[in-house]
Every structure is written in structure tokens, then in C-alpha cells.
Homo-oligomer: A and B are copies of this chain.
């Protein structure tokens, strides 16, 4: 399988052929204009790239590459703005080299060398950042440090149900290596196939389960990292009240403090009992109220995802005439009849109509199977579709946040208005749809998708204008600039407005202490 140098995932799995033709026809019809024509990416070998500003010495003992294609492929993440630009042949600032350490000691050697020579180090797991988290800074020599040779399962503790995993291990590899033990991590961010444990930890990734343990933070038992100031290693502890949690300072640090090399993570027995239902609602606010009821019930459904009318139609979960609540339970321990019954009752109490429901039992052979399987396949397929829409000249991107329930209807309405008016003004039309991806007892995370026509060569600038407007609105209403997409460089100005000032001041000096030469992923978090 060949990874795309400019866009999502594997080249062989991209939307092409008749699928692309059909999409082109669909988009043309939706826009009321002629059938759109898909452009082709530029030939990466034809691109000009500046000579490396540095020489990685062989004496470092770490594998490295100066190959232009390697440097270009590591010069961007997978935000719309990255992909649209790379597709057109623009990679603003590729790293001067890509280094590939295969031990924590080699990571350490790179950091020592970078600190000594003023070379910035950008940690790179799967490179799926959608917020500029892996885009090299422009003002100094940079190496991108790929974790791809640190991709092993080190140890499994079946008694405690925990696993020691290297940071560069990809989602499917983690589950494949845990499978013989009957275990699974059960953490499925949308990037799952092409992102790594270290990237999830550094960016506090969110899994696709709507409640319960779903954010990677909750799976962490201990973390190992290399910082320029030395090795960071927390103890394997199921719980501790000894001072502020050291793990929680690394979680979300986005490579600014050091490179996460490995972690002990909590794993689970593979679920064998499943329950699922779809409930239809006349409005998305009513569906969200049912979601609130579920989140406050203590039933802990694995899934309780709300799709508005448009998203329900888009994903095949509905026909567009209703908002849909997709409900699911999973267990490795017990049958879920009483759980599902009470959850369906709660949906009905909130005006929902149960369209279908099912209880199933038995191990499933792959992570794509089971009750959540169809949803998950569509979910994992979405970034490929995004790339195809880029080829058709569209502006296509998402933004997300979280807010407490008391303000949920007003804030989601406000954000939809701001997005819609800006998309209309900038793009002359387009769609804004919403799902609700995560539910907490005290609030939820709304997630918006925008698809709009772009002008040739101006797609990125157009999106940037819309994005700035919705980001301002998010900060102004008191929400968070990101629920699970991280901060990176793109969100940094709004993050700096959001975070408590003394916390930022403390974080800044902590970084200076651990990274005195300021080489660690400069610019992320605004640091």
C-alpha cells in the first residue's frame, strides 16, 4: 500500500473512477451548475524544494532522509488547508530532513544534537493533524522526527488489563497485536488507521464512542518521554493523589515539551455483547435533549451520537426527514437488554421514535464488524471523500467545540448562523451540517461540517476567512477552541485567549526549563 504524499491514507483507497464521476455529477447538481471536473494532483517529483539547511551527521547513528519526496510528505498535516495546498503543489516549509530513530536512546540523541545546533524537532506520528501540528516552523532549520520505527507492543499485563506500547504504533497495529490476548484498546478516533498512540496522547484525541472512557486521557496508566532536559517516566499507577498528575501535563503538550516514546495504556476485553438502536426526532434540539437524558442516566452507552437531518442523510443513518440518535452499548461481561430497554424508554420520553433496535452476541472478527461497524466504516471513509471534494474544487472542512447543556441550543444555533453567513458571503453558498459527537453529564461536543464551492487557487484563503469567523465566535461564547482536534499552530491565537493567563505563564516557563534551546515543535499552543 502506498501512502498518499499530499492527501489522506493509501493511494489505492482514494475515491477514483466511477465513484469520483458520480460525486462530480452530484456536486454539480447540488450547486445548480455544470458537472464539476476533478483535477489531478501535481507530480510530486516535479516540485522544486530548497536544499536542506543542515547536515545530519552520520555519527548521530540515527536513520535519516534528505529525499525531496520524503521531506514534502512530512511538510504538512491533513487539515483541509494542508491537503488543498499540497494537492496544488504548495508545501510552504518542508523539513530539512526526516529522522527515524528506532530507540528512545536515538530520540534522545536527536534532541541533544538539535539542542546543540539550534535545529527544531517536529515529532511526527501518522501526520494526521488537522490543526498544523506537524507543519515545520519557517524561521530555523528543522528535522521532522518520525516515530515509525517505534511501533511495537512491548508487554501485555493480562491481569491488570494494560499494555506497554511504543508511541509510533498505529491504531490497527495496536488492535492486531492485542487480538491474540482477547484484548482491544477500543479507542477509535477518525484518524485511527493512520495515526499513532503517541500522536493521540500528545493531542488528547477523542475516540468515536460518545460516552464513557473515550478520550485517550482516560486510558493512560503511565507515559515515557524524552525531553531535552532528560527522560520523563511516570509510574504504572491505577490511581494516585500525589501532587498534580504528571501524565496530564504531557497529555495535550503536542510535542512542545518533548517526544512521547511509549506508554502503558488500559485495554479491555473484546466486547461480545452488543445492543443498538436508532431513534428519530423531529428536531436536532429534541435529539440532543434525549442525548442529555442518556448522559445523565448513568447507563453509559458506548454510543449516543446525534446527527442533524442533513448529516443523517449524508451518512445513510436517515433519509433527511428526521434528526437521528444512534445508540449503542457494548460489553464483554453481560447481556445488555436492561440497559437498552431503559435507554430506548428515555428516547421515547423525549419524543423519539425507535426506528430499529437489536441485541447481538458473539465475538466479532474485526473492528469494522459489530453494531457500530457500518457507522465506523462510513466514519473512517470520510477523509477520502474530503480529498475527492477538494479535487472537485470544493471548500470542505469541519470545526468542533464543547459547551454545557444549559447553553447548548443557543450556542449551536449561534455557531451555525456564523458559519452559514460566512460561508454564504465567502463562497456564495454551501451547506453547514451538525452532529453531536460526545455527550457528558454536563454538556456535549457539537461538530460542524461545511461543504461549499471554492474558487480555483483560492480555496485555502476562503476557508481561512470562514474559520477565523467561527473561531472568534467559539471563543466569544465561552466554548473551547477544540474538543478533540487539538490546538497546533492553526488554533494557537484562540487557545491563547481561552486558557487561564497564569496557567499559560506557568506552561511557558516549564517549557523553557525542559527545552532551553526552544527546539521542541516551536509554535504549537502558541509556545
Contact = CB atoms under 8 A, between A and B. Distances in A.
A512 B510 CA distance: 10
A331 B298 contact: yes
Given A249-B506, A514-B505, A242 B443 contact: no
A445 B244 contact: no
Contacts of A195: none
Given A229-B505, A338-B338, A480 B513 contact: no
A304 to B, nearest CB: 14
Interface in A215-262: 215, 221, 225, 227, 229-246, 248-254, 257-258
A100 B486 CA distance: 41
A258 B500 CA distance: 13
A237 B479 contact: yes
Interface in A404-461: 404-406, 438, 440-445
Interface string A287-302: 0000010001111100
A252 to B, nearest CB: 4
A481 interface: yes
A444 B510 CA distance: 32
Interface string A489-519: 0010001001111110111111111100000
Q: What is the copy number of this chain in the assembly?
A: 2
Contact of A244 (B206, B252, B292, B296): B252
Interface stretch (A28-36, A140-148, A153-161, A314-322): A153-161
A169 interface: no
Contacts of A239: 206, 215, 402, 438, 440, 443, 445, 480, 483
Nearest to A296: B161
Interface residues of A, number: 97
Most B-side CB within 10 Å, residue of A160, A246, A251, A479: A160
A478 interface: yes
Contact of A237 (B161, B342, B441, B480): B480
Most B-side CB within 10 Å, residue of A227, A254, A337, A480: A480
Contacts of A511: 506
A334 interface: yes
A54 interface: no
Given A242-B252, A242-B495, A402-B237, A505 B513 contact: yes
Most B-side CB within 10 Å, residue of A257, A269, A442, A480: A442
A243 B492 CA distance: 10
A333 interface: yes
B338 A241 contact: no
A204 interface: yes
A525 interface: yes
A234 B503 CA distance: 9
A245 B292 CA distance: 24
Given A242-B487, A482-B242, A503 B249 contact: yes
A46 to B, nearest CB: 38
Contacts of A338: 334, 337-338
A499 to B, nearest CB: 6
Contacts of A251: 244-245
A403 B238 contact: yes
Nearest to A475: B235
Interface string A54-75: 0000000000000000000000
Contacts of A406: 157, 159-160
Interface of A: 157, 159-162, 203-206, 215, 221, 225, 227, 229-246, 248-254, 257-258, 266, 268-269, 292, 296-300, 331-334, 337-338, 342, 402-406, 438, 440-445, 478-487, 491, 495, 498-503, 505-514, 525
27 contacts: A160-B442, A162-B442, A215-B239, A227-B502, A232-B502, A233-B500, A235-B480, A238-B440, A239-B440, A240-B482, A241-B482, A241-B485, A241-B486, A242-B499, A243-B252, A243-B499, A243-B525, A244-B251, A244-B253, A246-B503, A296-B333, A297-B333, A298-B332, A298-B333, A505-B513, A505-B514, A506-B511
Q: Report, nearest first, the 3 A-B pairs whose CB atoms are least far apart.
A: A238-B443, A506-B510, A238-B440
